[in-house]
Each structure stands twice: as structure tokens, then as C-alpha cells.
Structure 1
Amino acid sequence: SAVDGLLVSGFSGEVWLRPGVTLADAQRKAGLGQLLPNESGGVGLVLGAGNITSIPVLDVLYELIAHNRVSILKINPTQDPLAPVFGRALAPLISLGLLRIVQGGGEVGAALTEHAGIDHVHITGAARTFETVVFGRTATGKRRARPRLSVPITAELGGVSPIIVVPGKWSDADLRFQAEHVATMRLHNSGHNCVAGQVVILSADWAQRERFLAEVEAAMSRAPQRPVWYPGAQARLAEVADEYPGARWSSGHTRAVIEVGTDADPTPMEATEYFVPALGVVTLPGNGQEFLDAAVEYANARLTGTLGANLLIDPDTEAALGDGFEHAVAELRYGTVAINTWTGVAFGIPTMPWGAYPGGTLEDVQSGIGVVHNALLLDDVERGVMRGPFRPFPRSTGALIGPGTFSALPRPPWFVTSPGAADGGRLLTRFRIRPRLTTLLGILESAFRS
């Protein structure tokens, strides 16, 4: 709509289907369960996420609409205080017998996965939790060899998300803005996000590398203080401190920037989804296409998971690379690729699919199996690609006469450095409930004030 075009000005999304899928195939399969509305998908168990409160609601709705499946939603204990809110919000589904909400610890979830009345399981969480659900564990905590789960399972898990910074000639304003962008990818929700940016990949030959890194550290430090609240987070921060004694800390020793050189082993940072405000930095040689191809290969081969990847590139450099840039995007094996935006933005767009890159299995789940959100109900989804403007308004006006993407938005409201984010979020919620011009103007005023 015109309003959406204004609220996310300059942003666009694409859904890529798997190779070999024709337009006729896509049109024939679109609709998923709605193509057979009288065919029940049975009863599904939704094991809700513990970090983002919208996820359990979205997963229940997707199970119902995409798969004709009623659900038992088992709330993560971190969300127990919100159980009455979930109950009120989902009361229409509960009253029709389409949903039941239950609470409890891991033992409740385990009992439900083994219940004869469950036909399918969907989980949002960590790979280790997925393995426990599917295989169970021995008395010593090792994963059992054979699956014990007897029904199909889909999953949205985390990973180590890259932030590939393609070298170019950036202004001081570009350096500062994109540094805040990187800080947002790591610090949103205090880093307790499955798709938080974790490893920044820079070029050793970029003349502005040191200046950009200094801006990133400054942005990480000056962003408003927020509690590091997720269970186990303090222990994970202690792990980071032990593994990387050279890390640079800020905000009361709760945020770390880890520049990995020849004196530190990058393996823990590459293989462990930290889920805390710890940002790694690695350096690869090369400029232009050489660097970009090396960064894509590094991300695909070295970093755990396939959920989301981020690319930052200025308009002139992107234009110079041409088809080589698009080829690099296609080579990234991630369920969501974000260009000059954060993959978390795609999470909030209903028509964008959300999930791991295809290929996860019970034995090697990577970042999950299947997709959610996907309001277009497309089948054979490979990935979503989200594109945003490299520069905010008013600097984006240069795209009206040159390369790049124009945006009417100043600093995006989801930036952790945006002072208007809380007010803007409340106003946007009210606007979606009851669209009014005065509320829309308030949203825009809040955005420009930021």
C-alpha cells in the first residue's frame, strides 16, 4: 500500500524459489494448506521461543493457516509472565478449540513430544534443544544415536550471522551511519536474537578499515544501556572473556568487540552462536569482487548456521561490480540475505519467508528445517532477499540522479541509537489497530525526531 511504501521507504523484498521451479509450478502450489481447506493437518505442538514475544503467536498462526493444523503452544518459561496476554490476544482461536496454551519446563515439552495425539512439532530455539527433542540424551548428556521423535518436525534455529562490509569510498557520515547499523544488528534485544549479526568481515586492503572499526566500537559503546537478560547470558559473556582476553569491552563489561588477528583462534567465534552482545571482526585480503567472493566463501564455509547474512555496500561500488555482485548474493547459502539492511527487518515483513537455507536434516539441522511467516503461502522457498538504502534521508536524495536507492526515512526507527524508537513503535501499533492520519503523522514526526 502507499502507507507501507512510506513507512518502509526505500526497502524492498524478494522471495527466491528453489532452482528449477517454474512460474507455473509456483502459481499451482501457492496456497499450501488453503488449497485443501477440508484436509486437516492434525494437532501440532509449538515449542515457543524465549527471546522474542511475537514468535509464538506468529508460529501458531502459520501452523493454522499454512498447514490446517491446530496447536498446543508450550510457552518458554522466560515468557510465562505473558501467558495471560497471549491468552487474551489469541482468545478467538482458543474459544473455537483451535489452540491451547500450556506452561512448564523442559519436562512438559518432552512429555508433549511423546504424546500419541501430536502429529507434528515446530520449535524455535537452539540447535542443541532441537537435538534433545529429536534424539534425546544419555545420562552423560550425549545425543542418542537414533531419533526418538516419531512425527515430522520443523524448526527455526539460530547461527553465526555474517556482516560483510564491501570496501568503497565512504563519507564520514556513511562510516558513522553504517557503524550504527552494525551495532544495531548485534545489540537489538541485547544480542538475544537468533539472527543477530555476530561476525563483521572487513577487507585488509580497505583504506578506511580502521576508521570504520573505530566508529563501530564507538557506536557499540554509546548505544543506550539495556539489561543482558536471557538465561545463561552472563556465563556466555564470561566464556567470551576467557576465549578472547584481547576483546575490547564497554557498557559495564557487557559488550565486546573481538578483533581476531594472528594471535587469536577465530574458531569459537565462528562456531558458537553467542546470543549476547559480543561482536567479532575478521579481516580478509582483497578489494572489489575478489574480496566479496572471498567473504562469501568464508561465510558459507566457516560460520555455523544458514539463517541470515548481511551485506553493506555503497551504491558506486555495487554499480561497478554489476552482475558480479548479484552472483555473490546468489552464492550465499542463507535463508535471508539482507543488502544494506538487517535481516531482522525481513523478519518483520509478513510476506517474506523466514527460516534456514534449504538442506537441514535431523542429523545436521544447521539453522532449521522449513519456513514460517511466508504470508503468500509459497512452496519451494529457497530464500528471501531484502534490500535497503545505503544512505538515509536527506543524503539518500543523491540516488535521484545517480546510483543507489532513495528513501524518505531518516535514521531507521529500529536502530538502537534511535531515540524515537519506543514512541514510534507504540504509534505504529496503534496505527495498525486503527489507521488514522493523526497517528501516521505522529509516526513520521517520531522518525524524523530520531
Structure 2
Amino acid sequence: MTQDAAVITAKTPQEDAGLDAAEQAALDADIAVLQQGSRTWSALSVAQRITLLKALRSSAAATIEDWANTASDSKGLRPGHPLRGEEWLSGPYSVLGALDAYADTLTKLSEGRSALDGVKTGRAPGGRTKVDAFPLTGIDGFLLSGFTGEVWLRPGITPNTARSAAGLGQLAPAASGGVGLVLGAGNITSIPVLDVMYELLAHNRVALLKVNPTQDSLVPVYERALAPLIEPGFLRIVRGGPAVGAYLTGHPDLVHVHITGSAATFDTIVWGPSRGPKAGATTRRRRENRPLLQKPITAELGGVSPIIIVPGEWTDADITYQAEHVATMRLQNCGHNCIAGQVVILSADWPQAEQFRTALRRAYAGAPERPIWYPGSSARMHQAAEDYPDALVLADRLLIEVGEGQDATALESTEYFAPVLGVVELPGTGQEFLDAAVAHANEKLQGTLGANLLIDPATEQALGTGFERAIAELHYGSIAINGWTAFGFIIPTLTWGAFPGSTLDDVGSGLGVVHNALLLDGVERSIVRGPFRPFPRWVPDRILHPRSRSLSKGTILPTPPWFVSARTAAAVSEGLTRFRARGSVLGLVKTLLQALRA
């Protein structure tokens, strides 16, 4: 009852990492501590692990200000910058929410109940079981009103099987998973922590976390926030570049590797370098199916994410709002996100297509400027500008509108990891367009991590079962309907990872899942549904389109705080994180008043 991972059985020795004896000895000492920590972890009951999670929550809550400020400073967001709120939500807020959700799951298990006790399950298209994984608490239902989240399991898994299997490693807490290596992400500061937590709780595996060099300044914050894991030997944190990573991936006492990064880095770890004097040996290993890595590996590797715009009759306010929504999907964190929307798929036959294009240009150009800080992003932007010389070039972003007869291959096959947004057109309207857009996303766009879809309530209701059938055909690990898939990232009870089917030789967006605070087995995908219209414009829809699932209960938010256009985003994001950390009702009221001014 564990999540799928690729198991590697090749015997080829790991190549020399190039570290000196002292550096190797220091890493070996950390691993020795973790080996003892693995035995200690296996001796803890589930109830004792809950106590540890509560201590971890307290230590993490004590660091939230330093965490958010250090992250903002490291990305060049000066004090007072309107987008500093991103680092509150994508950093400490995400971690605190995950700790709460994991503690709730472990509490159920410690009391002899299923991890899905009190969680509704139902049926999804294709004989699938779905788990209604969000919201599960009253406060989440209030703060994020209008948003819901489902986890779809693989076809053939029944609700009863799902309930009995939920819990993963915590169903057998004494079974040690050994010591694993987590190669941390370099872009979002919660990712390394969330990956470590999943190793511990899903797999009973203590972790050596190697942070990406872009996150070096966060290490002192991590060490304080994660002290309850570090002190008993459940976690060690190290810095270093490729040499340290190469030494650790080949270390015989590390039994598993998890990486959040790029497919190119994954391939280098598994097969060897694709360039230089050793490239020939790498090619031979691939041809003979002899991976260099000799242990299991899981990975989250990003991709090119579509934003499908289903044509309908939109008001001017709808067009303005959804254009800002699309701009946010690309420009949050300056586009340095594995889940950033990159290709807008638009209907060429939509009467409002040109109006939407105009609004998108305005929203994309009008978002606050910020530094392009992630290594290599500027070079990828330059390449995109060369590939599409007619693109709209702004100071810190690029908008590519692929015209008739132009080749969209580069846009659709290159994860730019930079503020580069493209627009392509397909013919048709209604179900015809939706089916064509789904097929285009599946077949033309690189990767299967996340897909976004915007549809108005009247159109969704008119499509009926055809809409849900199309969603089932959209083969992505995270799907957001009238939302952004980053919302699925931040909800701990949803899952995060590629659509199943990747292999070592063709890894795509990765192998396995993370987050998954309900500890579900047999996951296929997660789906977020949000309101098409913000407060108060959604109110008439509840009367006119009662069968539209995207309406849910409506939302209290006029503009979500993660929108790059939200005027009070920084204050609201900070306030929500402080409320998550300390539960101050007065502080929450002030935050909500600021949200209404967004």
C-alpha cells in the first residue's frame, strides 16, 4: 500500500562526485545520525507522532515572519513590494496547513478509525472513486468559500478499498522506510519541507534534505522551524551544488531519492550526463536500459501547463477578471513555477476572442514589475523572443500570440520557467472546441502536471455530462476548473504530481505524488473547482444556473489574494498566515476587511 515509484536494479557504480575527504565525512556523519533516527522513528507510536507534529507546528509558527521576509528578500522583492504576499502563502501558510491536515489524519488512525472517516466519497467518470478532499474544516470552507477539491483514484478502486488503504505508512508505523534523500526545489520555499513531511508520513522514511543553492538563505529558518525533526535525528539539512548531489544520490545508505526539479536533472541522476565526454556512456546505458542510479526515485518535474478558455457569453467584467486570472497563472513568482500556466488555448470562433486578447494584453502588461531571479530564466526568455520575433516584449515579461501559419512547437514543448505566456487558437465552439482543446493539451503540450480550464456557469450547464467526460479525458495530475492549479498545490489534502504513466526513460512531469495529507493510495489526479465570478457578481448565478458545479456556495472574495492584480494582496496574505499560525479572530476580521478592498 505505497505510492508507485520506479525501482532501479542496475549495478553500474556511481561516478566520482568530486568531493574531498572532509566533505564526504561530514555527509557520512549526517547519514549515520539519520540511520539511528530511522530506528527511533519506527519506535514511535502514531499518537507520539501526533505530539511531534504539534511541536513542529509551534516551531514553524514561530518563524513565519523571518521565513516570508527572507524568501522575499532572496527573490529581490524589496520591502513594501505589492507581491511580497506570495511568500507568505507559498511558504509558511502552506506548511502550517499541511501540518494541521496530517495531524488530523494521524489522530483518526490513532483512534482506530479510517483516515477517511467523515470524508465523503463518490463516483467519478470511468468507474473511478472520488474523495471530496476539500474543504474538510469549517474555517477552510469559510476562508476559501466557493472552492472545492476532489481526489480521483485510479479506475477499479472502490470506496471501501480506498477507506481501508488510506494511511499508507502510518498503517504500519513500525515498518522502517530507511533513510531517503530529498533534493529540494529552488523556487517555492514550502516544497522542501512538504517533501520531507511526505517522506516521513507516507513512507516512514527519515530524510537528508539537500537544499537548492537558491534557497541557501532559508537554511537557518528551516533549521529553527524544523528543530523538532532535527534534534531526534529524523532530518538533516545540507547545502551544496551538483557535486554534493552526485555523492548523495550514489550513497549506499540512502535508499530512495525524491527530487523536485527539471526533467534534465532527473535524467542526469538516473542515466548520467547528456553532454560532455561521458555523454556516450549515458546513451549506451539508455539503449541497454541500465540506469546509473541504483535505488528507487520519485520526482515532480513540471511541464507546459495549458489554460483552456471555453467560449461562452461573458460580460465585460468577466473578461477583465479572467484576464487578470490568466496573467496571475503566468506571473506569480515571476513565472518560476512548475505549475505556471504557459499556453492559453482560445477558440478562433469565439465572438469575444479579440476582446479577451485585448484584456489579456492589458492585464499582463499592467501587473507589477519584479526581478527575474531564477538561474537560466533570462536565457530562456531570450530564446523565446528569438523563436517568436513578433512577440510583445515588456521590461520583464513576454507575450506570444501564435498567428495562423506560425509554428507553436517551441512554445508548447519548452517549459520556459520564466514570464513567457503564449496564446494559440483552435476552431470550434461548445463541446467541439472543448474536446479539441483537451486533445491538443494531451497530445501537443509537454508534461502532465497541471491543466487549467475557465468556463462560465451557463456554458458548463449546457454541456452537461459532456463537460465531465472532457475533464476525465484531460490527462493531468492536477486540474483546476475556474481556478489555478497552484490552489491545488496549497491544499494539503489534495495530491500533487504527474498523471500516472511516466517511466524512467520518458519521465515527463515525474513519478509518484506528494502532499496527500489523507494518505490515499492509488491516486490518479486531483481536481479543484472554483467560482467563475467573484463576490458579489456570482450571486445571480446561484438562481440562474443551479446545476453548475463550478458555482459551489459562492465566494466571499472580490479578488483572491493570490491575484497579481489584488491591491491588498501582501497584507491579506500575511494576515491569513498569521491567523493560520495563531488563530487570532480579531486579526482575521481585519484581514477580511482588507480582502474586501482588494
Shorter-normalised TM range: over 0.9
* Residue 79 (structure 2) aligns with: none
The 5 A counterparts of 1:133-152 are 133-137=269-273, 139-140=276-277, 142=279, 143-144=282-283, 145=286, 146-152=290-296
Secondary structure of 1:202's counterpart equals strand
1:99 aligns with 2:243: no
1:128 aligns with 2:264: yes
1:418 aligns with 2:566: yes
Contact 1:203/1:287 (<8 A) preserved: yes
Contact 1:11/1:389 (<8 A) preserved: yes
Q: Residue 132 and residue 315 in structure 1: after superposition, are their counterparts in 2 closer, same or farther (change >3 A)? A: same
Q: Deviations over 1:321-366 (max 9, x none)?
A: 0000000000000000100000001100010000000011101111
Secondary structure of 2:479's counterpart equals strand
* d(CA) in 2 for partners of 1:437, 1:42: 42
Aligned sequence identity (%): 62
* Residue 431 (structure 1) aligns with: 579
* d(CA) in 2 for partners of 1:52, 1:140: 34
Give the one of 479, 486, 492 matched to 1:344: 486
* Residue 176 (structure 1) aligns with: 320
* Residue 332 (structure 2) aligns with: 188
Secondary structure of 2:428's counterpart equals coil
1:369 aligns with 2:505: no
* Residue 448 (structure 2) aligns with: 306
* d(CA) in 2 for partners of 1:275, 1:137: 21
1:58 aligns with 2:200: no
Secondary structure of 2:318's counterpart equals helix
* d(CA) in 1 for partners of 2:222, 2:435: 45
- What is the aligned residue count? 448
Q: Residue 98 and residue 248 in structure 1: after superposition, are their counterparts in 2 closer, same or farther (change >3 A)? A: same
User: 1:442 corresponds to which letter in structure 2?
Assistant: K
Could you tell me which runs of 5 or more consecutive residues in structure 1 were left unpaired when the two chains were aligned: none
- By how many angstroms is 1:6 displaced? 1.4
* Residue 525 (structure 2) aligns with: 383
* Residue 209 (structure 1) aligns with: 353
4+ runs deviating over 6 angstroms: none
TM-score, normalised to structure 2's length? 0.74
* d(CA) in 2 for partners of 1:354, 1:13: 12
Contact 1:336/1:383 (<8 A) preserved: yes
1:156 aligns with 2:300: yes
* Residue 284 (structure 1) aligns with: 426
* d(CA) in 1 for partners of 2:338, 2:265: 13
- By how many angstroms is 1:263 displaced? 4.1
1:167 aligns with 2:311: yes
Q: Deviations over 1:343-397 (max 9, x none)?
A: 0011000100000000111011110000000000000000000000000001011
Could you tell me which runs of 5 or more consecutive residues in structure 2 were left unpaired when the two chains were aligned: 1-136
* Residue 7 (structure 1) aligns with: 143
The 5 A counterparts of 1:21-40 are 21-40=157-176
1:85 aligns with 2:221: yes
Q: Deviations over 1:417-448 (max 9, x none)?
A: 11211111111111111102111112211211
* d(CA) in 1 for partners of 2:139, 2:304: 34
User: 2:346 corresponds to which letter in structure 1?
Assistant: L
Larger Rg: 2
- By how many angstroms is 1:141 displaced? 6.7
The 5 A counterparts of 1:233-312 are 233-250=377-394, 252=395, 254-312=396-454
* Residue 222 (structure 1) aligns with: 366
User: 1:305 corresponds to which letter in structure 2?
Assistant: G
* d(CA) in 2 for partners of 1:378, 1:261: 44
Secondary structure of 2:195's counterpart equals helix
* Residue 108 (structure 1) aligns with: 244
Q: Deviations over 1:224-259 (max 9, x none)?
A: 111111001111111011000010122x1x211111
* d(CA) in 2 for partners of 1:427, 1:286: 44
User: 1:353 corresponds to which letter in structure 2?
Assistant: T
* d(CA) in 2 for partners of 1:282, 1:400: 32
